[in-house]
Amino acid sequence: MKMKKKNLKVQVAALAMTGAMVAIPMNARAEEVNPASAATTGTMEVAAEAATGVTSGAAAETATGAIAGVVAEAGTGATVATAPGAGTASGREGAVVTVEEAAVDPGTTAPNNVNTVLSEDQKQGTDISTHADITRGGQARPVIHVDTTVTAEDAKGEKTIVESHPGVEDNVITRLKNKDVVLQGDLSIKKDESTEAYDSTNTAAHPVNKEDSYSLKADLDVSPVTNAINASSGIIPGSNDIFVNNLETGLRSTFTLGDDLEGSFHLPTDLEDAKKHYELSSADGNPMIYRINYGKSSFSKKKVSLVMDLDLTQMKPLAKQGSDENAANERIYGKDPVTGKAYPIENFNPSPATGRHATTSVFGNLQELINNSAQKIQLVMKGLKINATSSNRVETETETEKNISTEGSIAGTLVGYMKSDLWYVYSSGNTSYVWGAVQNDAGRDKVSGQGNDKVLLTVKMNTVEPKSNPVQPVNPAQPVNPVNPEQPAQPVIPVTPETPVVPAPPTNPSIGGTSNGGGGRSSSRVTVSTVSNAPSNPGIVLGESRPTASTLGGEVLGENRETPVAETVEKKQGTVLGESRPSVNGVSDRATVATGDYNFTGLWASLFGISLASLAGFVVLQKKKEN
C-alpha cells in the first residue's frame, strides 16, 4: 500500500510537469468550439485594434464567435473593424480586417483561448505552474506545487532551472537548462517570388526598394516543448497511463512595422486570399499539428496577428500507447493505408458523458504525438510593401547627386499557452505553461537586435536625389592687357618768323621830264605819296613776317624754316573731345582753321604770303603800266 502511494505521488508529479509541456507546441487548427459554447459557422470574428496598437479582439469572445466592434461587411468575404477615429478597409492606420472561416470538427482540435489568456504580445520566457494533490482518504495532501518563471535572461546562460531557482524541487524537469524550455524565433526577408535565399540580416540590414513586394518569414523553434515531454517520461515507469484531459492550447504570432518604417502588410479580401498570402508550414519535414485560424486572426496596415490552433488531421498513423493489451495493434491519427479508413483522433478532451477516447487520452499518446510532429515551423507572409525608412540616416554626396541611406525595423513575437487537467487513481491536479519566444541567437540581428532579446529584422533603403545646385559657368578667359599705344610724335612747333622789312614804295618818275632831244619842255617831277591804310593796332598781316629770301628768284620752300622743338604736353586722364589736338604756337588761328593742317601750318602761311605778295606786285605793275 505504501509503495502504491509513493508511485502515485511520482506519477502525479510527472503528469503535472509533462502534461503541461506536452501541449505547449500545439499551435492549433480550427476555430475553437468547446462543449459550453458552440460557435456559429459563418460568423465573423473582428479584432478592434486599440489605440496602443495591441489587438484586443478575442478577449471578449461571444457565443457566436464574434468580437465586439464596429463591423462592416465588405461583400468580398472580408470584414473590417474600425476603431474610433480610425481608417477604413483601404489599409489606413487603425483599420483591422478579418476573414470568415467555418468552424472545424471539434474532435480534430483543442480549445484555443490564447487571445484571452495572453492579451499582450511582449511576453518572453516561460512560466511554469504545476499543482498536484492526493485526494484519497478525504484529505488533500500536496504531491507537487511548482510556480516559477524562466526569463529571457535566464535562457542566455548554461544554468539549469533548479540552479536558477533554488526553491524549485530537484527532478528531471528542473534539471533541464533554462534555454532548453524557452521557445525561439527569427525573422528573415526576400522579394516575392524570388529564388534568392531568405536573409535574416544577422550581419547587416537587408536592402529593400519601395517598388518591390516582399515576403517576411518567421522561423519558430518549438522543440523546447518536446524536451520537457521526453524528460518527464522518465520519472516513473508506467507514466504512459496518466490521464490528460481538458487540454487547451494555442499560439499567436504578431508582426509589427516599426515607427521608423512606412509600409503595409497585405490586407486579404477573403479566406482564399488570406491563405495565399499567409502560410504556416513545417520546416523540418515532419507533419504539422498546427494551422492558422484565419477567423481569429487580424490584419491591418501596420500589424498582423496570426492565431494558430492544434490540428490533428495531418498527423500520420501512430501506434496506441498505454497498458491496454490491445494497444500495440491499434492506431490513432491518419488513415489505414489499405482501406483508406480514418483511424481515431485523440484530442485529449474526452466527452464527460460518453468517455469517448478515454483509453487513448493518456500521456503516452501525447508524447508520441509531440515527438512525431514538426519541431521547427515557419510562417510566411507575402505582399509586404516597404515605402520608406527613417532611422540611422546617412548622407553622402557627389558632384551631381545626394545618396541617402535610412533603416527601418520589423518586430515579431510568438506567445502561447497550454493547460490541462491530470488524473491518476487517487490523485488529481492541473498544470499550466505560458511562454513567449526570444530571439534565436544564431540569427540575431546585428543592427536592431543588439542588446535585447526581441525578434527583430532590420531593412535598409537607399534613395538618390539629384542636386539642384546651378551649374557654375566656366570662368571666361581674362582679356590680355592691351599694349599701351605709342604716343604720336608731337608736332614740331615752328619758330615764329621774323617780321620782314617792308620795302620802300618806288618813286614815280617825273612827268614831262628832260627829253632826249630837248623840245624845250622842262621836266616836272610829281611825288606820289603812299597812303598808309594800316590800322591803329595792327596785327600780323598774312606774310608780313616772312623772312627775306636768299635769292632774287624767291625763297626756296622751307629754306628759312628752323628746326622745331617739341613742346611737352601734359598727359590727361580720360578722353576729352579734341584733347589730343596739338597746340601750335606762332601761327594764326585763321591759317590753322583754313588749312586743317596742324603739322605744317607755318608752311601754309608762307605759301599764302607768297601768293599775296605776287598779287600785290602784279597790281603795282599793272598800275604802272597804265600810267
Would the pLDDT of 206 be above 90? yes
Does the structure show a pLDDT above 80 at 589? no
C-alpha 515/C-alpha 506 separation (Å) is: 22
CA distance 574 to 567: 21
What is the crossing angle of helices 223-232 and 2-23, to 10°?
170
> Length of the chain in residues, anyone?
627
Of 27-36, 177-186, 319-328, 495-504, where does the model show the most confidence? 177-186
SS3 state of residue 447: coil
Mean pLDDT of 401-411: 94
Is 50 exceeded by the pLDDT of residue 108? yes
**Average confidence (pLDDT) over 503-514:** 50
User: Residue 600: is its pLDDT beyond 70?
Assistant: no
Please state which of the ranges 149-153, 414-418, 461-465, 505-509 shows the lowest mean pLDDT.
505-509
Cβ atoms of 325 and 132 closer than 8 Å: no
pLDDT for 610 equals 87
Q: What is the pLDDT of residue 428?
A: 80
- What average pLDDT does range 243-251 have in this prediction? 92
The confidence score (pLDDT) of residue 82 equals 44
Closest CA to 162 of 172, 153, 152, 206: 172
Is 324 a residue whose pLDDT tops 80? no
| Whole-number pLDDT of residue 233 | 74
Domain ranges of the chain: 109-391+413-446
- State pLDDT tens for residues 348-397: 998 776 666 677 888 889 899 999 999 999 999 999 999 999 999 999 98
For the ranges 219-228, 473-482, 523-532, 596-605, the lowest mean pLDDT is seen at: 523-532
Q: Please give the residue that has the higher pLDDT: either 455 or 32.
A: 455
pLDDT at 501: 59
Closest CA to 287 of 370, 366, 348, 361: 370
DSSP line for 532-586 = P---SS--PPTTTTPPPPSSTT-PPTTTTPPPPEEPP----SS--TTTTPPP-SS
- Output the CA angle 250-252-256, nearest 5 degrees: 180
Q: Which residue has the higher pLDDT, 148 or 104?
A: 104
Of the listed ranges 20-29, 288-297, 424-433, 514-523, the one predicted with least confidence: 20-29
Q: Does the pLDDT at position 105 exceed 80?
A: yes
* pLDDT score at 307: 97
Per-residue pLDDT, 16: 41
Q: What is the mean pLDDT of residues 164-183?
A: 89
Residue 344 pLDDT > 70: yes
Q: Which sign does the torsion angle of CA 442, 447, 453, 454 carry?
A: negative
pLDDT in tens, 444-483: 888 888 888 999 999 999 988 887 766 666 676 666 666 6
Assess whether pLDDT exceeds 80 at residue 116: yes
Q: What is the pLDDT of residue 526?
A: 43
What's the CA gap between 550 and 190, in Å, rounded?
122
Model confidence at 47: pLDDT above 50: no
The stretch 260-272 carries a mean pLDDT of 96
Quote the Cα angle for 447-453-458, to 5°: 25
- Mean pLDDT for 492-496 is 63
Q: Which amino acid is at 472?
A: Q
Average pLDDT of the chain to the nearest whole number? 74
pLDDT at site 51:
36
Least confident of 34-48, 299-313, 589-603: 34-48
pTM of the model: 0.63
Q: Which of 404-418, 426-440, 513-527 has the highest mean pLDDT?
A: 404-418
> Any residues with CB less than 8 A from the CB of 271 and at least 6 apart, and which?
77, 99, 100, 101, 294
Looking at the chain, the whole-number percentage of residues with pLDDT higher than 90 is: 37
- In terms of Cα–Cα distance, which of 339, 282, 283, 338 is closest to 315? 282
pLDDT at 413: 95
Q: What is the pLDDT of residue 370?
A: 92
Given a cut of 80, whether residue 593 has pLDDT beyond it is no
Closest by Cα among 47, 167, 31 to 97: 47
pLDDT mean over 230-240: 71
Q: Where are the beta strands (DSSP E) in 222-302?
A: 243-257, 261-264, 278-282, 290-292, 298-300
Label residue 130 by pLDDT band (50, 70, 90).
confident
Res. 58: pLDDT tops 70? no
pLDDT exceeding 70 applies to what percent of the chain? Answer: 61
Q: Give the β-pairing of 303-310 and 184-191.
A: unpaired
pLDDT of residue 488: 65
Strands 278-282 and 298-300: unpaired
Mean pLDDT for 254-278 is 97
Per-residue pLDDT for 151 more than 70? yes
Mean pLDDT of 152-175: 89
Q: How crowded is residue 450: how many other Cβ atoms within 10 Å of its Cβ? A: 9
| Residues contacting 52, CB < 8 A, separation 6+ | none
Which pLDDT band holds residue 596 (cuts at 50, 70, 90)?
A: low
